[in-house]
Amino acid sequence: MSDNNKSHISQNQKSWDERVHVHIHSDFYDVSSFLKGKSSLNPVEINLLDNIHGLSVLHLQCHFGQDTLSLARMGAKVTGVDFSSAAIQKARELNDLCGLDATFIECDIFDLPEHLDQTYDLVFTSYGTIGWLPELTSWAKLIKKYLKPGGRFVFCRVPSGYLYDG
C-alpha cells in the first residue's frame, strides 16, 4: 500500500475513534433499545440474510458492533472487524452486557490476513463501509478469501444520491 493510502487510513481511523463516542449517545444508533433486545438490522438486511442460525459470519467494518451482535442474536457465530479501537472496545462491552459470544478483531481491514485465518459461511457488511477505502479490488479479494466455497456475501449500501454522513 502506498504511503499516501496509509496516511489516509490513519487519519480516517482517528476520525472514527472520535465518532464512536458521538454515535453511542445518538438517537440514530439507539443503544438503549438495542440493549433491551431490539435488532439494529433493517428489514432489507434481515430479508437478504434469511436464516443464519448456526452459520459462521464475518462482519467487515462492524463499527461498535450492534449489527454484529444482532447477527449473533439471530443464532450466527459472528466475528466483527474494525480498525477503531474505541469501536472495538465498545463492541466488546456490548457483547458482555448482552451475554453474547461474538468475537471482535481490531485491525485495518487490509491487515486482516495477519489476524484471521479461517473461512466463513457468510461475509456481511453494510451502510457506510466502502467510501473510506482507498481501493476496492483488494477489499473484494479479502471477501473471496474469507468465504467458504458456496458461501454468501451480503452487502447493503446507501442508494446513490442519498447523503450519508457516517
Ligand X SMILES: C[S@@+](CC[C@H](N)C(=O)[O-])C[C@H]1O[C@@H](n2cnc3c(N)ncnc32)[C@H](O)[C@@H]1O
Residues that bind ligand X (CB under 6 A): 9, 12, 16, 61-63, 66-67, 82-84, 87, 108-109, 126-129, 132-133, 166
How far from 114 is each of 47, 55, 105, 110, 143, CA to CA, in Å?
33, 23, 11, 9, 15
User: Distance between CA atoms of 122 and 146, rounded to whole angstroms?
Assistant: 9
Residue among 12 and 89 whose Cβ is closer to ligand X? 12
Angle of helix 85-98 relative to helix 66-73, nearest 10 degrees? 30
Alpha carbon of residue 75 to chain centroid: 17
Q: How far is the CB of 145 from ligand X (least distance, A)?
A: 15
Residue among 147 and 158 whose Cβ is closer to ligand X? 158
Residue among 55 and 86 whose Cβ is closer to ligand X? 86
Q: How many CB atoms lie within 10 A of CB 97?
A: 12
Q: How far is the CB of 19 from ligand X (least distance, A)?
A: 8
Residue among 87 and 150 whose Cβ is closer to ligand X? 87
Q: How far is the CB of 109 from ligand X (least distance, A)?
A: 4
Q: How far is the CB of 81 from ligand X (least distance, A)?
A: 6
Please provide the size of the chain in residues.
166
